[in-house]
Amino acid sequence: MINDTLHSRRYVIAGVITAIVLLYIVRLFSLQILDDKYKEGADSNAFLKKTQYPPRGLIYDRNNTLLAYNKPAYDITLIMREISDLDTLSFCRALNIDKAYFIKRIAEIKDRRRNYGYSSYTPQLFMTQLDIEDVATIQQSLYKYPGFYIQNRTLREYAYPHAAHVLGSIGEVSQKRIEKDAYYSSGDYAGRDGVEYTYENALRGEKGVEILLRDAKGRIKGKYEDGKMDVAPKAGDNLILTLDIQLQILGEKLLEGKIGSVVAIEPKTGEILAMISNPGFDPSTLVGRQRSKNYAALVRDPTKPLMNRATQAQYSPGSTFKPVQALVALELGGINEHTRFTCNGKGSSPIKCTHSHGSPVDLLNAIEQSCNPYFWHAFRSTIEKDGYGDKNTDFKHSFDQWRQTVMSFGFGHRFEDSDVYEQSRGNIPTEKFYNRYFGETGWRAMTIRSLSIGQGEILVTPLQLANSMAALANEGYYITPHLNKNDTMQKRVHRLSVDKKHFSIVNEGMWRVFEYGTGRRTKIPDISMCGKTGTVQNNHGKDHSLFVGFAPRENPKIAIAVVVENAGFGATWAAPISSLLMEQYLTGKVERAELYNHITTSITNANVKKR
C-alpha cells in the first residue's frame, strides 16, 4: 500500500517538473522569437539600422520643364536608451532651440498615445527638415551627445512660385495613414494634396537601410559585413504633367488682383493645360520647418487661398450654359435649327432680355445675342413637349430626359476616373428635389424657368465648364480631364447623349459671338474662335464674370473656362483673359500689349492684393 502511494507520487512529481520545463521553454520562445521588444534590444546592442530615404520623383510639365525637384535635408534622431550625461543646454545651443522645446519634444516622443510606435531601443525623430546651416554646428560636435544621430533626407524645391494647387504639398503622415500603409513610420512625409497625393505611391520610391556595427560600448565600428546586408533606396518615378507652365504663369498673372479661376483643356486628349485658382500661394511656403506656421496663416486668410476654386468652387453658369441648353433642346425635339421665338427686349416676360436685337429670333441669333427669352421658350418647349399627364408624369419624364442629357456633358458629378484632386459635384436638380419643395404637382416649366438661362439651382465647377467646351469642340464626346501626361486616357471616352448633327449649328452660333457678338472686341486676329460670355447673378454681391470657349473652330486645340468673381460683365473680364490665354497657347506669345496691360494692372476685388 505504501509502495503504491510512493509510486503514484513519483508520476505526479515528474508531471509537475515536466510542466515547469515546458513553461520555461514556451516563455523563452516568446521572449526570444515572438516579442519584438527583446529582439530590438538585442539588435540595438550590436547594430544601428539607419533608414535611407529615397529621393522623391521629379515633376515636369508637358514640355519637360522641371517644376518640382529635391534638395538635401536632415533629421535629428535619437535612441532613448543610449542618452546619458547629456549637457542639455549645450545641446540646445548647438541646435538653436530652447530648453523648454527640448523637454516638450522628449515628452512627446515618450508619449505612446501620440507616438504609437515608440521604443527606447529604436531611432526616434527629434527634429525634422533641417537644412545644412541648421545642422552645421551640431554635426561637428555630435560625439558629445551620445544617442543622437543625423539622418539624411530630401525636401521639395520648386522651380516656379506657381501651380501650387496642381502640384500639392508634402506633410507628415498621420497615425491613421501609418496603420493603413506599412511603408510609413512615425515622422515620415507623404503627399497631402494635388498630384503629390494622387501619385504618392509612384513618387515616393522605396526606402533603403544601412546597417552599422557597434562594439561592446555601443560605439559605431563601421558597416556590418562591409555593407553586404545594406539595402539601397530606390528613387521615386518621375511624373510628366499635362500642364503648360508658361500658360499657367500667364493665367496666374492675368488673375492677379482678382478672385477667380481658369481651366484650359486640350479637347482631343482631355489633357489639362492650365488650372489656376486665385488667390493662390507659393508652393515653397509649405516646405520645411515653417510649413505649420505658413499653413496656419493660409487657413486664416479670409480669401481662402488653399481652396482650389477651379475644381471646388460652384457657380451658376448663367449664359455660358446656353450652348448646352441649345444642344439638349435640339436633341430632345424642343426646337430645331429654324425655330424662332419672339423677343421684346426688356419688356419680355417672364424672363427679360438684357440685349437689344431684332425679333423674332432664331437659334444662331439667340446664341450670338445671348437672348434670354429664346432659351426660356426652348426650355419650356423641351420639357412640356408631351404635355403634363396625370400628376405631371409626362412633364416629369421630359424633365428627367433633359436632366440626364445635361449630365452627359460632365455636369452634376465628379470625374471619378480622373487624377484631379478634390472635386465638387456641382448640382443639376432632380425631380425629387422639386417634389419635396413644391409638392408632387406643384411645379412645372414656369416654376423652374431660371434653369433655362443657367441660373436657379444649377451649379457647376470651372473644371466642368471647360470640359463641356471640350465636348462641344469634339462634337459629341470628351475624354476625362487629367494631369498625367503619360496616361493617354484614350479609353476613357464619354459620349454625350446628343447626336453629332446638332453641333455644327451651335458651334456656328458660338463663332458668331466672336465675330459679331459680345466677344468681338477680344477676338484674336486671323484665328477662328468659338465662345460664350456670361454675366451671372450673385446673391452675395456684384455679378460674376464668366467665359467659355474653344479655338480654332476648325481643329480645336484649346477649350477654356474663366470665372472672375464679383467683376461684372463676362465680356469685360473673363473674355479678355480667355482670349489672351488662347493667344499664348496657339501662337506662343501675346502680342496685344494694350489688352494685356489693362487686365494685369486692374484689380476687381479690393480684398485681393497683387502678388
Report pLDDT digits (tens) over 268-293.
Answer: 999 999 999 999 999 999 988 888 89
Region 240-246 average pLDDT = 98
Q: Provide the pLDDT for residue 35.
A: 54
Q: What nine digits make up the cell of 104?
A: 516638450
Residue pair 56/191 in contact (Cβ under 8 Å)? The answer is no
Q: Provide the pLDDT for residue 538.
A: 80
Q: Provide the pLDDT for residue 44.
A: 54
Distance between CA atoms of 470 and 579, rounded to whole angstroms? 16
Q: Confidence band (pLDDT; 50, 70, 90) for 574?
A: very high
Picking from 20-34, 256-270, 297-311, 463-477, which range would have the lowest pLDDT averaged per residue?
20-34
Region 146-162 average pLDDT = 91
Q: How do residues 435-453 score in pLDDT, each as one tens digit?
A: 999 998 999 999 999 999 9
What is the DSSP pairing of strand 260-266 with strand 558-564? antiparallel
Region 107-128 average pLDDT = 84
Contacts of 442 (CB under 8 A, 6+ apart): none
Q: How do residues 500-535 score in pLDDT, each as one tens digit?
A: 999 999 999 999 999 998 889 999 999 999 999 999
H-assigned helices in 171-278:
175-180, 194-198, 200-203, 245-254
Q: How do residues 33-45 score in pLDDT, each as one tens digit?
A: 555 544 554 555 5
Distance between CA atoms of 374 and 339, rounded to whole angstroms? 10
Picking from 28-42, 77-91, 317-331, 420-434, which range would have the lowest pLDDT averaged per residue?
28-42
Q: What are the structural domains of the chain?
A: 48-207+222-240 (3.90.1310.10), 245-279+308-600 (3.40.710.10)
Whether 47 shows a pLDDT value over 60: the answer reads yes
Q: What nine digits make up the cell of 551?
A: 479655338
DSSP 8-state code for residue 367 = H
